[in-house]
Structures are given as structure tokens and as C-alpha cells.
Amino acid sequence: MKSKALSSSFKANESTVNIFNNSVHYLGMGIAMAVNLLGPDHITLGGGLVEEMPRYYLDRLKMEVSRYAVPEIFRGIKFSIAKLGDSAVAAGSVAWLRNINA
């Protein structure tokens, strides 16, 4: 591999990492706002990026949420990764419909 190709690859990956970290930063801010308003005890994350790199994504997101959430509320929150994959939306919709029709 030539150094120019290696350099280009590194720059591309660095940019990708920066874009990813920025998106997690803003998502973390949004989740922190919801945490501060609603005080949930559990947050479940899903989606393509979460499925591809669950530990990295979850760790970065927890760090960002902890920066903006009220510390006393944040300490009690559990984070998990969705296990239903592409079926999550359909399963959630069915569960919600069953609940409102009961």
C-alpha cells in the first residue's frame, strides 16, 4: 500500500469518526433533555449504527447524556440495545394497538 492511499484512507476514516461523534453528541443532548423532562428509568437504543457497533455507540451516547442530564436523574437510568432489529417498529405498533383497544 502506498503512503498516499494510506493517508487518504486515514483522512476519510477520521472524517467519518468526526461525523459519527458529532451525531452522537447531538443525539445525547436530545436524550438528556428528554431525561431531564421525563425522568425515564430505561432507554433502549436501536438502528443500523447501534447494531453495527453497539458497545462503542452505547458508551459514547452514555457519556454525552451524562454531560447534559441532571446527575441525580442520570444515575438511575439503564441503557440497553434493542433486540428486535427490523421488526421493532412493527412489534411496537402492534403492542400499542393492543393496549389502546383493551
With left for phi above 0 and alpha for psi between -120 and 50, is residue 4 left, alpha or beta?
A: alpha
CATH annotation of 3-100: 3.30.420.40
Classify residue 65 as exposed, middle or buried by CB count within 10 Å of its CB (0-12, 13-18, 19+): buried
Confidence (pLDDT) at 8: 47
Name the one residue in this structure whose C-alpha cell is 447531538. Answer: 26
Residue 87's region, left for phi above 0, alpha for psi from -120 to 50, else beta, is alpha
Q: Where are the domains of the chain?
A: 3-100
- Distance in angstroms (rounded) separating the CA atoms of residues 16 and 69: 27
**pLDDT tens digits, the chain, 102 residues: what are they?**
343 443 344 456 776 677 778 888 999 999 999 999 999 999 988 877 777 778 888 999 999 999 999 999 999 899 998 887 767 778 888 888 888 765
